[in-house]
C-alpha cells in the first residue's frame, strides 16, 4: 500500500489520459532510468501478452503508474517498436526477452528517423547488445543510415572509438567505404577529422579507400592536412594517398597547408612530391594567396622552394601585381629581388600593370622603386595620379 500511495501524484497526471488508455493493453513499458527492482517494472515484466511502443518519455511514468495500480490490460500502437525502445534504454535483458519472440522484420524495423535497433545499440556503445542483434538477423540493416544524422552503426562505433566493435561490424557486412552524413563522407575521413591515428590505421588496414572524396572533392588527406595532423598525413602518404588531387575549388592538400602557414606540413608534402605551383579554379597559386594574406614567412618559404614568382592567376594578374594591390612595398621588393622583374610590365586582362596600381594608390616610394627596376611609364600613369608632386617621375 505504501508503494502505491507514493504513486498517487503520478496517477493524478495519468488520469488525464484515462479515457484514451481504457482500451489499451501494455506489456513492455520501460520508463527510462527506472530501477529494475521497482514494482512498476516488476508489474510490466509480469504481463508479456501484449506489444507496445511508446515515443513520449513524458507519459511513460504516468502510464506505468496507471498500469501498476489499475492493472488494466492495454494495447498501445505508437511510432517506435518495443525493441527500439529497449535498445535505447540499454536494458539487455529486455532486449533478449523481446528477441526471443520476434522475427527479423522486427529486428530490422526503423523508426521515423530511419534508425534501427542496431543503430541505437551502437550509439550507446553496448557490445553485448550489438552482438545479440547481429546474431538475430540485424546484418540485414547493418548499413542503414539515419535520415536525421546520416550516421550508420559503423560510424557510431567510430565516434565511440570502439575498434573491436568496428571490426565485428566489418566482419558482418558493414561497408567501410559507404558514403554517409550529409556531405557523403566516409568513416576514414571522420577518423582523420577526429585526428584519431589508431582508427585511421585500422580502417586503411581493413580496406578503406584512401582516395575516396566527398561531395566537395575532399579526400582523407585534405582533412588530415586541414587538421594539421602530421602523423596522419605521413601515414596516408606512405599508403599511396594522391597528393595532388584537387577538390571542387581546385585546391589541394598543399594549398590547405599554405593557408594555415604550416611550414612543417608544407615541407612534408613537398618532400612527397606536392606541386608547389598548383592553382585553384581561379588560377590562384599558394604563393598568390600568401601574398594577398601578407604572410611573409610563407612567401619566403615558397619562393625559396622554387615557387614561380611570375605565374599569374586566371585574369593574368601576377604576384607582383597583387603585392602592389595590397600596397605592401616589402613584398614588392622581395619579389623583384627574386625574379619578378621579368613580369614587371605585364598587363592583366583589364589592361592594368603593377605600376598602374602603385599610381592609383599614390604610393611614391613604390612608384619610384618600380620605375627604377624597369617599369615602363605611360600617359595613363599620369592620369591615375592625384598627387601632383608624383608626376615628376613621368617626365
Tens digit of each residue's pLDDT (9 = 90 or more) over 281-302: 999 999 999 999 999 999 999 9
Which residue, of 34, 58, 78, is where some domain finishes?
78
Query: Does 271 reside within a domain?
Result: no
pLDDT band at 39 (very low <50, low <70, confident <90, very high): low
- Least confidently predicted of 71-80, 234-243, 355-364: 71-80
Give which of 22, 69, 73, 32 is closest to 52, Cα–Cα.
73
| Residues 95 and 151 occupy one common structural domain | yes
pLDDT in tens, 352-372: 999 999 999 999 999 999 999
Give the domain extent around 21: 1-78
pLDDT in tens, 330-359: 999 999 999 999 999 999 999 999 999 999
| Residues 19 and 44 occupy one common structural domain | yes
pLDDT in tens, 178-187: 999 888 999 9
Query: Does 151 reside within a domain?
Result: yes
| Residues 26 and 92 occupy one common structural domain | no
| Residues 98 and 160 occupy one common structural domain | yes
Q: What does the alpha-carbon distance between residue 326 and residue 100 come to, in Å, rounded to a whole number?
A: 73
CATH number, position 104: 1.25.40.20
Does 303 score more than 60 pLDDT? yes
Q: H helices within 160-252, ranges in order?
A: 163-171, 187-193, 197-205, 220-226, 230-238
Q: Which residues contact 151 (CB under 8 A, 6 or more apart)?
A: 119, 145, 159, 180, 181
| Dihedral (CA of 376, 382, 387, 390) sign | positive
Query: Does 267 reside within a domain?
Result: no
pLDDT in tens, 115-155: 999 999 999 999 999 999 999 999 999 999 999 999 999 99
| Dihedral (CA of 338, 344, 347, 350) sign | positive
Which residue, of 26, 57, 78, is where some domain finishes?
78
The DSSP secondary-structure symbol of 27 reads: S
| Residues 70 and 97 occupy one common structural domain | no
Residue 1's pLDDT is 42
| Residues 129 and 154 occupy one common structural domain | yes
Amino acid at each position: 500500500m505504501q508503494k502505491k500511495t507514493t504513486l498517487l501524484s503520478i496517477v493524478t497526471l495519468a488520469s488525464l489520459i484515462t479515457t484514451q488508455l481504457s482500451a489499451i493493453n501494455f506489456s513492455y513499458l520501460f520508463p527510462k532510468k527506472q530501477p529494475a527492482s521497482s514494482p512498476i517494472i516488476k508489474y510490466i515484466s509480469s504481463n508479456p501478452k501484449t506489444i507496445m511502443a511508446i515515443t513520449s518519455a513524458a507519459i511513460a511514468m504516468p502510464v506505468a503508474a496507471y498500469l501498476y495500480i489499475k492493472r488494466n490490460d492495454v494495447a498501445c500502437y505508437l511510432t517506435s517498436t518495443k525493441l527500439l525502445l529497449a535498445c535505447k534504454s540499454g536494458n539487455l535483458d529486455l532486449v533478449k526477452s523481446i528477441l526471443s519472440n520476434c522475427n527479423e522484420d522486427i529486428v530490422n524495423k526503423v523508426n521515423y528517423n530511419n534508425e534501427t535497433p542496431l543503430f541505437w545499440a551502437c550509439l550507446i556503445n553496448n557490445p553485448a547488445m550489438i552482438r545479440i542483434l547481429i546474431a538475430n538477423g540485424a546484418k540485414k540493416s547493418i548499413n542503414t543510415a539515419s535520415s536525421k544524422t546520416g550516421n550508420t552503426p559503423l560510424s557510431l562505433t567510430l565516434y565511440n572509438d570502439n575498434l573491436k566493435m568496428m571490426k565485428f561490424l566489418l566482419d558482418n557486412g558493414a561497408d567501410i567505404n559507404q558514403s554517409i552524413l550529409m556531405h557523403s563522407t566516409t568513416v576514414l575521413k571522420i577518423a582523420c577529422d577526429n585526428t584519431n591515428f589508431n582508427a585511421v590505421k585500422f580502417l586503411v588496414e581493413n580496406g578503406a579507400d584512401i582516395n575516396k572524396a566527398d561531395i566537395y572533392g575532399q579526400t582523407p588527406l585534405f582533412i588530415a592536412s586541414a587538421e594539421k595532423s602530421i602523423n596522419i598525413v605521413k601515414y596516408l602518404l606512405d599508403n599511396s594517398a594522391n597528393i595532388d588531387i584537387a577538390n571542387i575549388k581546385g585546391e589541394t592538400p598543399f594549398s590547405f597547408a599554405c593557408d594555415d602557414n604550416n611550414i612543417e606540413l608544407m615541407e612534408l608534402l613537398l618532400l612527397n612530391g606536392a606541386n608547389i605551383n598548383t592553382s585553384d579554379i581561379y588560377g590562384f597559386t599558394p604563393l598568390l594567396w600568401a601574398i594577398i594574406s601578407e604572410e611573409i614567412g610563407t612567401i619566403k618559404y615558397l619562393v625559396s622552394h622554387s615557387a614561380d614568382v611570375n605565374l599569374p592567376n586566371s585574369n593574368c594578374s601576377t604576384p607582383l601585381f597583387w603585392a602592389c594591390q595590397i600596397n605592401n612595398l616589402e613584398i614588392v621588393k622581395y619579389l623583384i629581388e627574386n625574379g619578378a622583374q621579368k613580369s614587371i610590365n605585364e598587363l592583366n586582362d583589364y589592361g592594368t600593370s603593377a605600376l598602374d596600381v602603385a599610381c592609383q594608390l599614390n604610393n611614391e616610394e613604390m612608384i619610384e622603386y618600380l620605375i627604377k627596376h624597369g617599369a615602363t611609364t605611360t600617359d595613363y600613369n599620369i592620369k591615375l595620379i592625384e598627387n601632383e608632386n608624383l608626376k615628376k617621375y613621368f617626365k
